[in-house]
Amino acid sequence: MGRILSLLFILSLVSIAGAVQINEMNIVSQIREEYVHMSVEIKYNLTVGRTDYFVLAPVTDVHVYDENNSELVCKLKERDIGTLILCEGVSLKKVRFEFNAYELVKKQGKINHFSYPFSIRDPTEEFSLVVKLPIGAMIVEQEKLNQSGMKPYSPEDATRGSDGRCIYLSWHKLKPRLGTTFDVSIFFERAELPKSPTTLLVAIVFLLLAVIFFLSRKKSYDVILPVLTKEERDVVSLLLASGKKQMDQREIVRKIDMSKSKVSRIIKNLEQRGIVKRIRLGRTNKVKLLERVTRKNE
């Protein structure tokens, strides 16, 4: 019943300005020891004079920024089921809400359980969500949850990855249906060190080899960066910073703040020089940094 009432309240906040839609909503949730830090970025199709975000949890350290990274003066309205962050008298097309949310992680012995319903309450073209685990945490294996009937995480169509420090799960949806709720659930635990001295030694050796490989690769990539234009360096540096040396082309456009056509031209030039490769996936491209780029430029 509580979940139904929560959904009805959120839907009651839907903007009555029918022409206003959300082009993109990007949410990053970083699970920490005592709270979950959330960053919610919303890009509208039109300039709006009012924006808000409802959080189904108590919140602290709330900051809201416009497209110029100027902090806005907003109100907090506490409800029985959460907190409304309301910004009125504004003029913007892009807004970012930053805050710490509490009571979203429950501890069950050594296993932690994060859960939160992310709702689509406005017409939205593109929705992306990333949930990062604490440093040193890993997703629980299915065997440990068999008796409960739960899955290690849901929705199960998540992409698993790592940014080099944290394991994360991500979801990406195009034109999600209005009123849809993504009930995210993740079971995680602290990674345990191997108890056997031999196993520990092997793990250390592999870690050292991985570090040496990473540093040697980084040095090789640094050789080609000076010969690129500033815009090309921005793209290559962004790919280097990503865990898998590849990114969705739309994500590149968002992060380096250039037009789609300009980014497309830069990537095409890099592809012609054998530095990146575009992989067509549905309506977009994956841009991948080629392994052989170091050999071509040495």
Which domains can be identified in the chain, with CATH numbers? 2-190 (2.60.40.1730), 197-297 (1.10.10.10)
For the cut 50, the answer to whether the pLDDT of residue 295 exceeds it is no
The answer to whether the beta carbons of residues 180 and 120 sit under 8 Å apart is yes
- The CA-atom distances, in angstroms, between 146 and each of 100, 142, 149 are 32, 6, 5
For the cut 50, the answer to whether the pLDDT of residue 7 exceeds it is no
Q: 40 is written with which tokens?
A: 């919610």
Q: Which of 149-163, 184-198, 262-276 has the lowest mean pLDDT?
A: 184-198
For the cut 50, the answer to whether the pLDDT of residue 11 exceeds it is no
DSSP secondary structure code for residue 145 in this structure: G
Quick: pLDDT tens for 79-91: 888 999 999 999 9
- Measured CA to CA, the distance from residue 27 to residue 276 in angstroms comes to 27
The answer to whether the beta carbons of residues 150 and 97 sit under 8 Å apart is no
Q: What pLDDT was estimated at residue 222?
A: 52
- Measured CA to CA, the distance from residue 231 to residue 246 in angstroms comes to 17
Instruction: Determine if the peptide bond prior to 117 is cis (ω within 30°).
Output: no
Residue found by looking up tokens 């456009």 in the block: 253
Could you count the other beta carbons within 10 Å of the beta carbon of residue 235?
Answer: 26
The answer, as to whether pTM is greater than 0.85, is no
Q: What pLDDT was estimated at residue 193?
A: 57
- Measured CA to CA, the distance from residue 276 to residue 238 in angstroms comes to 12
Q: What pLDDT was estimated at residue 215?
A: 52
DSSP secondary structure code for residue 71 in this structure: B
Q: Which of 44-58, 148-162, 281-295 has the lowest mean pLDDT?
A: 281-295
- Measured CA to CA, the distance from residue 38 to residue 213 in angstroms comes to 33
In whole numbers, what is the pLDDT of the chain averaged over residues?
83
The answer to whether the beta carbons of residues 111 and 153 sit under 8 Å apart is no
The answer to whether the beta carbons of residues 221 and 294 sit under 8 Å apart is yes
φ and ψ of 192, to 5 deg: -95, 140
Q: What pLDDT was estimated at residue 14?
A: 45
For the cut 70, the answer to whether the pLDDT of residue 126 exceeds it is yes
